[in-house]
Structure 1
Amino acid sequence: MPSEQRTPARRARRTQEQRRTATRAALLMAAAELVVESGVRAVTLARVGERAGYSRGIVTHHFGSKQALLDALAKSIQSGFVPGAGDLPPGLERLVLLIEGYVSELGRDGVASRAFLLLWAEASTASELSSLFRERDEAFRAELRDDVAAGIADGTIGADTDPQDVAVAVLGQLRGIGMQRLLDSDAVDTQRLSRTVAEQWRQALSA
C-alpha cells in the first residue's frame, strides 16, 4: 500500500534530522566550553570538532566558518533564554517577566550563559565579534522596545516613556548584572535580585 511504503522513508528522514540536531547541539556546547575555558581565540573549527568527538569537516559542514559558528552560538543561547516569555503578548507583563527571568537564569551558572557573557565582553575589542553582538543587542533592544510600545498602547505604561531609552537601560542593567555574576558569583544573589529589579521596573514604567 502507498501509505505503508512511505512510512519507513518518513522515519528515516526524522532520524536523520534528529542526528543532525544532536550533532549541532554537541558542537555548539563544545564551542561554549572552549570559550569559557580559554576565551574566543581558542575556538577553532578543528578544536570544536575534537572536543565534541567529530572531525573538522563535520563542523565546517554545519557552520562553514568560525564566524558563523560564533553567530550560531550567540543566537542559540539568547533564543529562549527566559522560559515562558515567548508565550506572553508584548507589553508590561512580558517585559517584567523577561527581566525577572533573565536575572534568575544568570544564577544557574551554565556553560552556555557564561560563554555568551564572555563573548559579549570580548566583542568590544574583537572585530570578529563586534558586528555579531551589535546585531544580537539590537535584536534584544527591539524586543524590549516592542514591549514598551505595547504597554504604552494598552495604557499600562506611561505615555511619555521612550521605548528606546528603556531598551538601552534594561539591556545595560541585565548585561551588567551578568558580568558582575561572572566575576564574583558570591556578590550577586540573582534569586533575590531578580524580583527586586523586576519590581523596580514595574513601578518605574507603570502608568
Structure 2
Amino acid sequence: MARLTQRERRDRTETALVAAAAELVVESGLRSMTLARVGERAGYSRGIVNHHFGTKQALLEALAHATQSGFVPGVDRFEPGLDRLLAVVEGYVGALGDISVISRAFLLLWAESSTTPELTDLFRARDEGFRSRLRADVEAGIAEGRVRPDVASDDVAVTILGQLRGIGLQRVLAPDVVDTERLRHVVADQWRRALSR
C-alpha cells in the first residue's frame, strides 16, 4: 500500500473535519459547533482544527463550499441555456431525495444565515453565485431563441433559487411530505412551460 503524500493527508484530514462539522450542525445546530467538538468528532485534537482552519468562520466557509460543489452531478455537460437550467432544477430537487448530512447542514445554515451575522455574507455570496448561473442560463436561452424574450432573467433567478431552497428546507423538516422523485419532474416541467417560446 502506497504512503499518502502530505497533500493527500491534509486533504483527508480537512474532509473529515468538514464532515464532522456538518454532523454537529445537523445534530445540535450552529451554536453547539465548536472547534474542539469538531476535532473530537473527527477523531483529532482541537489543535488540528485550528491548524487547518484557524477559526470557526473559516471552517464554516469550507463547509458551505463543500456542500455546494457537485450537488447536481452532470450539469456541466450542458451548455448554458434552457436545457442546463432545467437540468439544474430537476437535478437539485432529485438530489434532495437522498440528502446527505453535508447538504442538510448547508440548508440548515442557509436558513440560519438570515439571523446569524457570521453566516450572512457567506450565504449571500453563495446565493448570488447561484442566481448568477441561473441568470446566465435564462439569457443564453433567450439568445438561442428557446426562452421567451419578455422573461426577466433576474426575476427567474430569484424565484428558482427561492423555490429550490424552500423545497430543500421542507425536505429537511418533513421528509415524508416531499416526494422528490415525482416533484423533480413537476418543477422542471413548470419552468419549461413558463419559459419556453
Partner of 1:7: none
Deviations 1:78-121 (A, max 9, x none): 11110001222111100000000000111113101110111011
Structure 1: distance between partners of 2:54 and 2:89: 34
Contact 1:30 1:48 in 2 (8 A): yes
- Higher radius of gyration, 1 or 2: 1
Aligned counterpart in structure 1 of residue 36 of structure 2, from 46, 49, 59: 46
Q: What amino acid does structure 1 have at the position aligned with 2:100?
A: G
The TM-score with structure 2 as length reference comes to 0.96
Partner of 1:188: 178
More displaced 10-residue stretch of structure 1: 85-94 or 189-198: 85-94
- For structure 2, the residue ranges without an aligned partner over 5 or more in a row are none
Structure 1: distance between partners of 2:52 and 2:147: 44
Partner of 1:67: 57
Partner of 1:202: 192
Structure 1: distance between partners of 2:80 and 2:10: 33
Deviations 1:111-140 (A, max 9, x none): 011101110111111111111111111111
Cα deviation, residue 19, structure 1? 1.3
Alpha-carbon RMSD: 1.3
Structure 1 counterpart SS, 2:98? coil
Cα deviation, residue 17, structure 1? 1.6
Structure 2: distance between partners of 1:68 and 1:86: 28
Matched, 1:120 2:124: no
Contact 1:80 1:86 in 2 (8 A): no
- For structure 1, the residue ranges without an aligned partner over 5 or more in a row are 1-10
The TM-score with structure 1 as length reference comes to 0.91
Partner of 1:90: 80
Between the two proteins, the alignment pairs up a number of residues equal to 196
Structure 2 counterpart SS, 1:186? coil
Cα deviation, residue 61, structure 1? 1.9
Deviations 1:27-73 (A, max 9, x none): 00000000000000111111111110112221122212111111110
Structure 1 counterpart SS, 2:176? helix
Contact 1:92 1:147 in 2 (8 A): yes
Partner of 2:91: 101
Structure 2 counterpart SS, 1:107? helix
Q: How do 1:4-15 and structure 2 match up within 5 A?
A: 15=5
Runs of 4+ displaced beyond 6 Å: none
Cα deviation, residue 16, structure 1? 1.8
Structure 1 counterpart SS, 2:73? coil
Q: What amino acid does structure 2 have at the position aligned with 1:117?
A: L
Matched, 1:144 2:134: yes
Structure 1: distance between partners of 2:67 and 2:148: 32
